[in-house]
Structure 1
Amino acid sequence: MNNELNNFTCQLLLPEEKKAIPAIGTNAERAIRTSVLNSIVYEMDGCIKVCGKKSLSLLVFLTSGHSNYFERRLKNSIFADINLVLTGLNRIFEYNVEN
């Protein structure tokens, strides 16, 4: 989890990243983790839903270190690969070497 809440506020805890996210925060750490991570999931689901209505052939790709975390929590069908950019760059490199 990004630590801006900890860096830019006074005395807020820096929540540890855990697999289980509670539905309701019962202390400061759980409330921060719940509100931030669940808000991201809800925002992503909403964006995918709106864009999916405009394009029936919508493809959603998640990349970065936390893509697998969000892939498991999103309602929509998506593709997640933490190394997608590096994989693509490697394939471009290999293509250029062969040609």
Structure 2
Amino acid sequence: MNNKLEVILIDIGNSSIKTTEVIDGEFQETVIWDQLDSVLTKYEGVPIMISSVKKIDSDLLNNGVGKILDYKTKMPIKIDYDTPETLGADRIAAAVGANELFPDQDNLVIDLGTCITMDLVDRNQVFHGGIISPGLTMRMKAMAGYTDQLPDISEEWRQINSGELGKTTKECLFSGSYHGIVHEINGVLRTLERDFTSLNMILTGGDAHFFESNLKAHIFAGSKIVQTGLYSIWKFQ
């Protein structure tokens, strides 16, 4: 018996295009692409669900079975956000994915990528908004780019060993970038836990594994949380 390809989940971020086939309800290995056109050509006629941080021309989906996620899409959570038209599809998909994985918990989804996003979806399936701040590489590049004397350590920070207080300028830059993010996340957690006492933290994104051991909370490292949300939304249609 042939396995059924149900849908192609496409996650378009700032730096990559990721596709995941869903066959008989199971996620297959994620593939990284350079061009969306190549994906659409390969999967012409196959149902497609897209989350994109970039604007996509809907005319590209001329096979009639493609769906681009936005705030108007039917979904299993409620969006409590003053400007939903500005809310990134990746944030929506990740929130839905958290709700799918942990439906009876208050979930804080932390995506450590080009930017850091922290979004809260509660146990009543309500998305409450969140926080956006510069990611690790962006912080390092910004300090070098906006000053005359500070070096860019974004390509060498893994070789820089520093505690909270650096003893060299490069160590100080590392500490401010890396430990600053740790304290930022832990501070947000402490604030939210006043109202959400059993908050579940879900860590995802390309830089997540650099921070997992230094964050003081229960963590589920969800590498496919956006895909989980996309699949849940696709089934909800």
Same fold (TM over 0.5): yes
What TM-score comes out, normalization by structure 2 length? 0.36
Matches within 5 A, 1:1-99: 1-2=137-138, 3-15=141-153, 16-18=156-158, 21-23=161-163, 24-89=165-230, 91-92=231-232, 95=235
Taking only aligned residues, the RMSD between alpha carbons, in angstroms, comes to: 2.5
| 8 A Cα contact 1:68 1:82, kept in partner | no
> Which structure has more strand as a fraction of its residues?
2
Unaligned runs of 5+ residues in structure 1 are: none
| 8 A Cα contact 1:6 1:12, kept in partner | yes
Q: Deviations over 1:52-93 (max 9, x none)?
A: 22112312222211112122111222222344223432x348
1:36–1:72 Cα change, 3 Å: same
**Larger RCO (CA under 8 A, 6+ residues apart):** 2
| 8 A Cα contact 2:202 2:221, kept in partner | yes
1:70–1:19 Cα change, 3 Å: farther
What is the CA–CA distance in structure 1 between the aligned matches of 2:157 and 2:170, rounded to whole Å?
10
What TM-score comes out, normalization by structure 1 length? 0.76
Percent identical residues: 26
Max Rg structure: 2
Unaligned runs of 5+ residues in structure 2 are: 1-136
Aligned pairs, number: 96
